[in-house]
Amino acid sequence: MSQLGAIVTHRNGAHALPRSSKNKKTIQTGFEAPETHMRRYSAFAIAREAARYHSGWERAWASPQPKKKYDVIIVGAGGHGLATAYYLGKNFGITNVAVLEKGWLGGGNTGRNTTIIRSNYLQDASAAIYEKARSLYETMSQDLNYNVMFSPRGLIMLAQTEHEVRGYQRTAHANALQGVATEFITPQKVKDLVPIINISGPRYPVLGGLWQQRGGTARHDAVAWGYARACSDMGMDIIQQCEVTGVRRDGGKVVGVDTSRGAIDCDKLGIVVAGHSGVLADMAGFRLPLESLALQALVSEPIKPCIDVVVMANTVHGYMSQSDKGELVIGGGTDGFNNYTQRGSFHHIEETVRALVETFPMISRLKMLRQWGGIVDMTGDRSPILSKTPVEGIFVNCGWGTGGFKAIPGSGWAMAELMAKGHSPLAEEFGLNRFKEGRFIDESVAAGVAH
């Protein structure tokens, strides 16, 4: 599998690029902060450490005590929050930033998704931000000097009804106009790409597929870790086990947050907390058009390489790819009811596995190793919210629902611009006012896709 070879080549950041001069600030934290910058990961670093029993590796990010005040506080050290902080520093030079996390960084949906990256959306606004994200994934390992194992192995969304065929042909045409490289392929091409697939049914034969050759997967934890390391290197404070318990306002403007580690002041506050967005909004005194639902995923026991693309089957409701460890990574749909427990209903696992067994008969004897849930925040039109809020200085980045991981870099890029400049072309269509004005970005109905 060629992409595995590519990953090995990229591992440990063999592609050294010159450091951006913007990154050259010392870390200003109180907690054993190194005087100098993080050491770069490289092939040379491996050799150096090998020669001294790997005693010289340093912590990837600092664990500082919170300061009294920051220019910007981001709540939520998941992928989106850390990416927001990273691009605030990298694109706008704003580095007096704290990222607050009630658990551990990357421990929410960033570490719970099925790592799929694609940008084959129907609506222009979606295609723009998801394609921005996908293109940033292409160079992320080099940009962050951290191997995120981006694997553009290709992604197929199966068309299994006549309606889906028409829908995906329409999407392929829309993507051509948007500059997103996708094509509608025949069942035979699907079979050539995925020899283990059963294209003849039993319930829904494969009638074609929407193929995005540069779609794929990445190592989800590494995305959070890479951003965290780069943020820490810019002098930002990533404060874990620090739960926000209240938002302090002075009139209509935010002045800070109360946390489990004391009050912290800020000029601007970014709420980037996925499933708990509604809880934070409630603290700040406004409401969001969101509902929090459980979404589950599971992995099989590891087996030899058998599928080197990502396959999504939205009619029967399941999707699958193979991780570098050999596990089949499987996901399906959300539960139908509000839930904050990070565990979902058993019958959804059954439904997902049933769909995939009929699509890939050879997996029927596989054991499933692990199963877990995450809490996703769903909007009415199934598109995200990147927006100012009724409280001056508070910005929200939420509503990514079941499809947030693929968007992380684009989301952070747009959110940082929104917070720094007050507007962002990428985020413009995703404002809260779209619900009142009826400007929905209706991916769920128009494209008929799961994320």
Partner 1 sequence: MLILHCPYCGVDAEETELHAGGEAHLKRFGPHSSDEDFETYLFARENPKGVHFERWRHANGCGKWFHAARCTATLEVFGTYSAQVTTPPQAIRDAITAKRPGWSWRDVQ
Instruction: Quote the CA–CA distance of 363 and 356 in Å, as a whole number.
Output: 8
Under rule CB under 8 A, residue 338 binds partner 1: yes
Instruction: Quote the CA–CA distance of 123 and 135 in Å, as a whole number.
Output: 18
Smallest separation (angstroms) from partner 1 to the CB of 340: 5
Instruction: Quote the CA–CA distance of 14 and 257 in Å, as a whole number.
Output: 41
Span interacting with partner 1, options 16-24, 116-124, 286-294, 443-451, rule CB under 8 A: 286-294
Considering only 4, 33, 279, 303, the residue that binds partner 1 (CB under 8 A) is 279
Instruction: Quote the CA–CA distance of 103 and 8 in Å, as a whole number.
Output: 31
Under rule CB under 8 A, residue 365 binds partner 1: no
The smaller minimum CB distance to partner 1, of residues 68 and 347, is found at: 347
Smallest separation (angstroms) from partner 1 to the CB of 346: 6
Contact at 8 Å (CB) between 335 and 363?
no
Element (H, E) at 130: helix 124-138
Contact at 8 Å (CB) between 230 and 13?
no
Under rule CB under 8 A, residue 52 binds partner 1: no
The smaller minimum CB distance to partner 1, of residues 136 and 394, is found at: 394
The smaller minimum CB distance to partner 1, of residues 12 and 345, is found at: 345
Compute the C-alpha angle 223/137/432, nearest 5°.
85
Span interacting with partner 1, options 25-33, 211-219, 273-281, 353-361, rule CB under 8 A: 273-281
Under rule CB under 8 A, residue 346 binds partner 1: yes
Under rule CB under 8 A, residue 380 binds partner 1: yes
The smaller minimum CB distance to partner 1, of residues 3 and 339, is found at: 339
Contact at 8 Å (CB) between 97 and 89?
yes
Considering only 52, 68, 304, 347, the residue that binds partner 1 (CB under 8 A) is 347
Instruction: Quote the CA–CA distance of 397 and 256 in Å, as a whole number.
Output: 18
Number of residues that bind partner 1 (CB under 8 A): 23
Under rule CB under 8 A, residue 255 binds partner 1: no
Considering only 90, 276, 382, 406, the residue that binds partner 1 (CB under 8 A) is 276
Considering only 341, 365, 367, 422, the residue that binds partner 1 (CB under 8 A) is 341
344: its two tokens: 């979902």
Sequence-distant (6+) residues with CB within 8 A of 264 are 66, 67, 68, 69, 70, 73, 98, 100, 256, 257
Considering only 108, 167, 216, 278, the residue that binds partner 1 (CB under 8 A) is 278
**DSSP strands (E only) in 213-281:** 216-217, 237-239, 244-250, 253-259, 262-271
Under rule CB under 8 A, residue 292 binds partner 1: yes
Under rule CB under 8 A, residue 289 binds partner 1: yes
The residues in 64-93 that bind partner 1, with binding defined as CB under 8 A, are none
The smaller minimum CB distance to partner 1, of residues 178 and 444, is found at: 444
Sign of the torsion angle spanned by Cα atoms 163, 205, 329, 222? negative
The smaller minimum CB distance to partner 1, of residues 149 and 284, is found at: 284
Under rule CB under 8 A, residue 336 binds partner 1: yes
Sequence-distant (6+) residues with CB within 8 A of 166 are none
Under rule CB under 8 A, residue 390 binds partner 1: no
Under rule CB under 8 A, residue 287 binds partner 1: yes
CB-count exposure of residue 421 (10 Å: 0-12, 13-18, 19+): exposed
Under rule CB under 8 A, residue 36 binds partner 1: no
Smallest separation (angstroms) from partner 1 to the CB of 274: 13
Residue 294 in 3-state DSSP? strand
Instruction: Quickly tell me which residue has 């109360």 as its tokens.
Output: 258
The smaller minimum CB distance to partner 1, of residues 67 and 343, is found at: 343
Smallest separation (angstroms) from partner 1 to the CB of 276: 7
Binding site for partner 1 (CB under 8 A): 276, 278-279, 287-292, 335-341, 345-347, 379-380, 435-436
